Amino acid sequence: MSGASLPRPREWTLTDGEELPKSLVLADRGELPEGWDRKSGTPGVRYMGDWDSRPHPARVIRVDEETLDLWQRLTGDDDAPVSQARLLSPVSTEEQEAIKALASYSTRLGSFAPQISRGYDESLAKKEGLIKYNLSHPGDWSEVVLKGIQIGLANPMFKSPNANSNDAFGLDLVSMPADATPETEYQRAVDVSRYEATQDQWIDRRSGTAQRYTEFYRMAWRRQIAPNTERSLYAAIIPPGPAHVHLVHSMALADNRSTALASGFWCSLPLDYFVRITGKNDLQTTGAKTLPFSSPDHQLAPALLLRTMRLNCLTTAYADMWVDVYDEAWQEDSWACHWKGLPPLAAVGQTWERSTPLRTERARRSALVEIDALVAVWLGMDADALIAIYRAAFPVLNRYEQTTWFDANGWKLTGYHRTYGQIQQKSSYDELLAYNESDGAARPPDGYTPPFYETDREAEYRQAHAVFSERLRKAREEGDPR
């Protein structure tokens, strides 16, 4: 999942007698060089497995005061003159509509007074004897000290704390016990009273009393933002109990519903794009507050909350939050895309059960795809803009998606080892290709059950975006002004 840094656009400053390269001259005039196929679409970062260096008119980005004003509104650097606005690095003009939507969406997380903790300073806490290294499985969330790698995309139990970042897959959510707890690399090294006395205090806004931050349901996220990986913004809901080291931050809003809604926003592609295009590489308290957000009374909030809660609430530790956030409106919801073979999205009740969370790889991906489209609609970003940022800013994800399949039971197969499915073997993908080429006459890969479903993220985005756009239009037409 790691790789070379994304190539940055080259800035041309001409000296006397120097001319622009022919390809850029053609592009600047809106002409396509010989060999370019208009049907292949606008350029992105990668093409046919390599860096996409093909010239195209969409690569010529003219930066004037209007553009700088837009970029400044996106970055929030309002204290500087427009002429000194930070330069962004879009790959093509196709991203402009997405940037405009994000810049025009003025509501930010900071307006909702989030309570944020950086947890234990890893080095200092070890030096002071508060925690010590001891890879273990204590069986109680309160004895866990979370590390960044344990937080996945809407997945609070993504990997073991000592896992390699290049490991293809994490914990098996399908076979995970209902009362599962994570491993911990650090163990409490002092008595409970001293350990808890060093933890940040937050205000419980229902009771008005001060409590340790570890007593709240929180959204936790990895601080480090990598622009050259599959995704860069990793956030998930964690239950009361665990502490964390400072490379993880955690946050709570006024109530569990708002906290869950923030988690839904943060696992979406549009917000991931926001942190990438604005050049954030270390997302701490100040940066977190600049991210787009909204109140939980929006028309699309129930749909976002249903998908978010079913992704995050993996164990019995989330039972109280599930009851608290549960909305009867969920019973009227359904998948926005035609996911053949998936159980109904609304097949959940008010009481948490083992079947409450989405566990299969296919169901979880389906919910995440729909969240991407839903948040795009919420932010005023059209389907073309959503697809433009997917092509331009997420080349690794794009490459992985081109070879991704699922079987009838929701198990994933892919052609890239860094994103292998949970039960995938080295030979599985070649066996799938042979099975497909034989029209089902060959034996399917071991452990997999036909039929197989191929992914098409762009088509799925368009379908989901159209459904959520229609829901929003209909709600407003019926008199809901939110």
Find out whether 69 and 51 touch, Cβ atoms under 8 Å: no
If phi > 0 it is left, if psi is from -120 to 50 it is alpha, else beta; for residue 440 that is: left
**Cβ-based neighbour number of residue 26 at 10 Å:** 19
Q: What tokens appear for 232 in the block?
A: 């860069």
Rounded average pLDDT over 53-61:
82
Q: How far is the C-alpha of 419 from the C-alpha of 152, rounded, in Å?
A: 14
> What are the CA-CA distances from residue 196 to residues 287, 335, 367 (Å)?
27, 43, 37
How far CA 111 is from CA of 117, 210, 254, 292, 295, in Å, comes to 17, 21, 12, 10, 10
Decide: helix, strand or coil at residue 244. strand
- Taking the C-alpha atoms of residue 150 and residue 375, their distance in angstroms, rounded to an integer, is 25
Distance of CA 398 to the CA centre of its chain: 14
Q: Quick one: pLDDT at residue 37? A: 44
Each domain of the chain, given as residue ranges in start order, spans 1-60, 63-90, 111-378
* Residue of 232, 248, 76, 39 lying closest to 153 (CA atoms): 232
Judge whether 232 and 292 are in contact, CB under 8 Å. no
Beta-ladder partners of 238 = 218
How far apart, in Å, do the first and last CA atoms of the chain sit? 40
Task: Tell me the pLDDT band of 58, cut-offs 50, 70 and 90.
Answer: confident
Q: Which of 59, 121, 117 is nearest to 90 (CA)?
A: 59
Residues 6+ apart with CB under 8 A from 393: 45, 91, 95, 273, 276, 277
Rg for the chain, CA atoms, rounded = 23
Q: What is the pLDDT of residue 377?
A: 98
pLDDT tens digits for range 285-296? 999 999 999 989
190, with CB counted inside 10 A (0-12, 13-18, 19+), is middle
Q: CA 234, CA 224: separation in Å to the nearest integer?
A: 9
pLDDT at 49: 66
Q: What is the pLDDT of residues 402-439, one digit of tens each?
A: 999 999 999 999 999 999 999 999 999 999 999 999 99
Whether the pTM exceeds 0.85: the reply is yes
Burial of 23 (0-12, 13-18, 19+ CB in 10 A): middle
Answer whether 453's CB lies under 8 Å from 362's CB. Answer: yes
Separation between Cα atoms, residue 53 and residue 43, nearest integer Å = 8
pLDDT over threshold 80, residue 111: yes
Q: Which residues contact 10 (CB under 8 A, 6 or more apart)?
A: none
Residues 330 and 173: their CA atoms lie apart, in Å, by 23
Q: Which of 81-85, 101-105, 345-349 has the lowest mean pLDDT?
A: 81-85
In whole numbers, what is the pLDDT of the chain averaged over residues? 90
* Range with lowest mean pLDDT among 49-53, 105-109, 260-264, 385-389: 49-53
Q: Is the pLDDT of residue 78 over 90?
A: no
Residue keyed to tokens 């008199």: 479
Contact 339, 234 (CB under 8 A): no
Q: What is the pLDDT of residues 454-476, one digit of tens each?
A: 999 999 999 999 999 999 999 99
Residue-wise pLDDT tens digits, 271-323? 999 999 999 999 999 999 999 999 899 999 999 999 999 999 999 999 999 99
Band of residue 265 on the pLDDT scale cut at 50, 70, 90: very high
118-128: per-residue pLDDT in tens? Answer: 999 999 999 99
Q: What is the mean pLDDT of residues 252-275?
A: 97
Model pLDDT for residues 35-49, shown as the tens digit of each residue: 444 445 677 777 766
Contact 375, 472 (CB under 8 A): no
pLDDT of residue 17: 54
What integer pLDDT is reported at residue 482 of this predicted model? 62
From 261, 349, 258, select the one nearest 307 (Cα to Cα). Answer: 261
3-state helix, strand, coil in the chain (%, to 5): 40, 10, 50
Question: Per-residue pLDDT for 54 more than 90?
Answer: no
What average pLDDT score do residues 185-211 get? 95
pLDDT at 133 over 60: yes
